[in-house]
Amino acid sequence: MTALELFFYISLAISLQVAAISTLAFYRHWRVYQNMKSRLIGFDAGLPGESSDEEALPVVGAGELTSWRGLREFRVTRKKFEDKSQNICSFHLMPVDGGPLPSFKPGQFLTLQLDVPDLISGGRKSVVRCYSLSDRPDLGHYRISIKRVSSPNDSPNVPPGLVSNHFHDHVREGDILLVRAPVGHFYLREGTAPIVLIAGGIGITPMLSMLNASFLNGNTREIWLFYGVRNSAEHIMKEHLQTLAKEYPNFRLRVCYSRALSGDVLGNDHWHDGHIDIALLRQTLSLRPYQFYVCGPRAMMESLIPALDEWGVPEQHVHYESFGPASLAKSAWRPPSEHEGEAPPSPAIVTFSKTGKSASWDGSEASLLEFAEKNGIEIASGCRAGGCGSCQVSIEEGEVEYLQAPDFDPDPGCCLLCVSRPTRNLILQA
C-alpha cells in the first residue's frame, strides 16, 4: 500500500466518524425537541366551550414555563378575611390543569373575567377586573386580596361595588375562575437602593408582595412602609406586618390612622394620627436616594405624587399604580416632558362611530381613554395600564401610537385606549 492510498483510507475513516457523531447529535436534539413538543401539546387543554383563537397555551422560553396566553381556569383553594371588619378577603388560586405556575414580579396584578348578575337587565354579563397579587411569587398558588366596596354613607342610593361584593358574597372555595397571566409595569425593581413603600387602604396589596419577596430573598436594603388606613378595624394583616418589623431591622413600619377608634393606642396600634402627606415623609426620611412606590386612593395619589416632584425626588425614582378611576389619572399630574417647549401636536378629530360623537384631540389628555371619558363616552376599562384588554376597540380609520408597550396584545385592527394616542384623524368603533 502506497503512502497516498494510506492517506486516503485514513481521511475516509475520519470523515465517516465525523458523520456518525453529527448524525447522533442531530438525533439527540431531535428527540429533545419532540419530547418538548409533546409536553406542550399535552398541556394545551384549552377552556371548555371556548372558541377564541387566543387559547390557554404556555409561552416557553429558556426551557421553562414563563406565562400563558388567554384565559386559564383557576380553582379557589382558600378564602380568608384579613381585617377585623371583614371587609378585606383573600382568595388563594391554583390552576385547574395542574400545570406549572409561572412566577411574577412583586407588585404585578392578575386580570379576571367573571360572569356576574346584570342589575339593569336582570340577566348576566361578563366583566373584567384586575387585582394586585398580594403575596410573594413561587408559593405554588396565587393570592389576591379584595376589599368590599359598599355604598357611600352620604350617598346610599349609589350601588355598591358589583364585582367586589360578588367575590365576598358568592365566590366560594372550590369555585372556578378565569384568569389571565400576571402582568403590570408597577413592580419592585432589583438593586440595593433604599425603598419607600406608600400605601393607602387596599393599596397595601402590591406592597405585601414586595415585602414578602424582599425578606424571603434575604434582602438587606433599607425598606420603609408608610401605610394609611382609617383605624384598627380596617388594618390589613396587622400581626403579619408587626412581625416583619420585629424580625427585620432593615424594615421600618409607619402605620397612620386617619380616624382612630377609642381603643386604638398610638405607638402600639399605629404610629401617626392623620393621613400620609409630604410633611410626614420629610420629617421621617433622611436625605437618601430612595426609590418610592405609591399605591392608594385618588386623593392621596393626586396630592403625594406632585409633592414628591416638588420635594426634588427624580421622576425615575417614583413608581405608582394607576388602577381604575379610583387611582391617579395621569392627566392630573404629568412630570416635565423631554419635549417640553416644542410646538403642540396638530389637532386630530377623533370620532366615536357608535355614539356619533366627534371631538378635537389637542394632546391635553394622557390617553384616548381619558379623552373619551372627558367627552362623555363610556368605555369599559380595568387596569388602565395596557394589561387587561378591557378597553380594546376597533379602529375604523386612522392610526394610534402607544405610550408604552402594552402587556395585552390587541386584536388586528384594534387598539387599547388606555395607553394610546391618535397620530391623525381617527374613527373608533365605540
What pLDDT does residue 306 have? Answer: 94
Q: H helices of 265-408, where?
A: 278-284, 298-311, 368-374
Residue 131: which CATH number? Answer: 2.40.30.10
In the three-class reduction of DSSP (H, G, I as helix; E, B as strand; rest coil), residue 73 is classed as: strand
**Structural domain boundaries, residue 86:** 58-149+160-183
Asked, for residue 22, whether it belongs to a domain, the answer is no
What pLDDT does residue 380 have? Answer: 85
pLDDT by residue for the chain (430 residues), tens only, comes to 566 665 566 666 666 665 555 554 444 434 433 333 332 222 222 223 233 333 444 443 333 445 898 899 999 999 999 999 999 999 999 999 999 999 999 999 999 999 998 877 778 888 899 999 999 999 999 999 999 988 877 777 778 888 999 999 999 999 999 999 999 989 999 889 999 999 999 999 999 999 999 998 777 899 999 999 999 999 999 999 999 999 999 999 999 999 999 999 999 999 999 999 999 999 999 989 999 999 998 889 989 999 999 999 999 999 997 554 444 444 444 444 444 444 445 689 999 999 999 999 988 888 999 999 899 998 888 788 888 888 999 999 999 999 888 888 888 999 999 999 999 999 999 9
Q: Pick from 291, 324, 357: which residue ends a domain?
A: 324
Asked, for residue 113, whether it belongs to a domain, the answer is yes
Asked, for residue 107, whether it belongs to a domain, the answer is yes
Same structural domain, 117 and 80 = yes
Same structural domain, 385 and 354 = yes
Residue 279: which CATH number? Answer: 3.40.50.80
What pLDDT does residue 17 have? Answer: 63
Question: SS3 string of 278-306?
Answer: HHHHHHHCCCCCCEEEEECCHHHHHHHHH
Residue 384: which CATH number? Answer: 3.10.20.30
What pLDDT does residue 324 have? Answer: 46
Same structural domain, 313 and 414 = no
Same structural domain, 294 and 317 = yes
Asked, for residue 42, whether it belongs to a domain, the answer is no
> How many domains, the chain?
3
| Per-residue cell: 417 | 385606549
Same structural domain, 224 and 177 = no
Same structural domain, 419 and 315 = no
What pLDDT does residue 23 have? Answer: 53
324, with CB counted inside 10 A (0-12, 13-18, 19+), is: middle
Same structural domain, 229 and 311 = yes
Asked, for residue 74, whether it belongs to a domain, the answer is yes
What single letter denotes the amino acid at residue 27?
Y
Asked, for residue 1, whether it belongs to a domain, the answer is no
Same structural domain, 376 and 316 = no
Tell me if the pTM is above 0.95: no
Asked, for residue 188, whether it belongs to a domain, the answer is no
Nearest to 99 by CA among 48, 144, 140: 140
Q: How many residues does the chain have?
A: 430
Same structural domain, 169 and 202 = no
Same structural domain, 313 and 204 = yes
| Per-residue cell: 238 | 396587622
List, as one string, the DSSP characters of 150-188.
PPPTT-TTSPPPHHHHHHHHH--TT-EEEEEEEE-S--P
Same structural domain, 175 and 200 = no
Asked, for residue 24, whether it belongs to a domain, the answer is no
What pLDDT does residue 350 have? Answer: 95
* Residues 169, 117 contacting (CB under 8 angstroms): no
Same structural domain, 354 and 384 = yes
